[in-house]
């Protein structure tokens, strides 16, 4: 297991994830369970986003970030992410940034919002008081249910990828993945 994946800086973790995925991507995607979980997560993320849109949350958060400067995606939250969660994002086709767009915000916050598909539980769960006070409770209940599925899938995928990689580190040669 790569120590950098757990305790490196965010740029070290991104570099570790890129290298590891480059060498083990085929092995990861060939694993049936991982492949199924990735498809399920992709669907769950799309459903959650739809529910957020429907609840008016995407617009509210966009205004908060772009107009009011009050986004909750603060600097330092990126450090909650480990290399395995970043590998999941790479497997979902996310282009991880090389540098932060805004030094005062989370490394993964881009002008259009969060660039990640597989988010940390803290990011999936968090809603500020303003949102909780203004969003229709029925829409919020639906959103919470979908987010629960998302959290569950991210957890299982994270564990599965660790299992598939075993003790391998992206810096070591992996002959079995080259074919």
Footprint (CB under 6 A) of ligand SF4, residues 42-61: 60-61
Residues forming a β-bridge with 110: 113
**In this chain, which stretch among 43-51, 102-110, 133-141, 158-166 interacts with ligand SF4, using CB under 6 A?**
102-110
72 interacts with ligand SF4 by CB under 6 A: yes
Q: Which of 23, 117, 119, 168 binds ligand SF4 (CB under 6 A)?
A: 119
- Structure tokens that stand for 165 in this block: 């990689």
Q: Which residue has the tokens 């979980």?
A: 37
Q: Which of 37, 55, 86, 123 binds ligand SF4 (CB under 6 A)?
A: 123
CA 112 vs CA 53, 65, 84: distances in Å: 14, 10, 24
d(CA 165, CA 162): 5
CB 164 within 8 A of CB 30: no
- Residue 69 or 167 with smaller CB distance to ligand SF4: 69
Contacts of 110 (CB under 8 A, 6+ apart): 97, 101
Q: Which of 3, 6, 98, 128 binds ligand SF4 (CB under 6 A)?
A: 128
d(CA 57, CA 134): 10
**In this chain, which stretch among 43-51, 73-81, 82-90, 146-154 interacts with ligand SF4, using CB under 6 A?**
73-81
Positions that interact with ligand SF4 (CB under 6 A): 60-61, 64-65, 70-73, 77-78, 106, 108-109, 114, 116, 119, 123, 127-128, 130-131
């Amino acid at each position: 297991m790569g120590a950098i994946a757990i305790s490196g800086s965010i740029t070290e973790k991104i570099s570790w994830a890129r290298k590891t995925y480059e060498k083990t991507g085929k092995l990861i995607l060939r694993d049936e369970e991982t492949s199924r979980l990735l498809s399920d997560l992709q669907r769950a993320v799309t459903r959650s986003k739809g529910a957020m849109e429907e609840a008016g949350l995407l617009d509210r958060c966009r205004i908060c970030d772009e107009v009011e400067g009050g986004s909750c995606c603060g600097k330092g939250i990126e450090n909650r992410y480990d290399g395995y969660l970043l590998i999941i994002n790479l497997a979902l086709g996310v282009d991880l940034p090389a540098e932060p767009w805004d030094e005062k915000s989370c490394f993964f916050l881009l002008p259009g919002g969060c660039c990640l598909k597989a988010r940390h539980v803290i990011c999936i769960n968090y809603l500020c008081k303003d949102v909780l006070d203004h969003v229709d409770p029925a829409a919020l209940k639906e959103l919470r249910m979908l987010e629960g599925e998302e959290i569950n899938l991210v957890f299982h995928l994270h564990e599965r990828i660790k299992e598939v990689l075993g003790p391998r580190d992206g810096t070591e040669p992996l002959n079995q993945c080259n074919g």
